[in-house]
Amino acid sequence: MKVTALKTFVGKAGLIKAGTRFETDELHAKQLERNGLVSRHEIKPAPPVLTKAEQEAQAKAEQEAQAKAEQEAQAKADKGKAAK
């Protein structure tokens, strides 16, 4: 069973640092979990917090990409009509 260390501790395999994902047997995982040392669920880091300017730049880039995709789709549709 794979677990993620919540705290740094010394275990069967030696020093286990917080955030390390490692394999152990079911019984050992339960014992470590009861002691608050590991989690059976994968812990993912939080997404980075964007500043207001970064959020606006990202939104603008997404809008531009959407507009370009729509223009390309329209051009393809127009080309298909002209070919008929």
Express each pLDDT in 9-66 by its tens digit.
998 889 999 999 999 999 999 999 999 999 987 667 778 888 989 999 999 999 999 9
Bridge partners (DSSP) listed for residue 23: 2
* H or E stretch at 52: helix 52-83
pTM comes to 0.48
Burial 36-66 (b: 16+ CB within 10 A, else e): ebbeeeeeeeeeeeeeeeeeeeeeeeeeeee
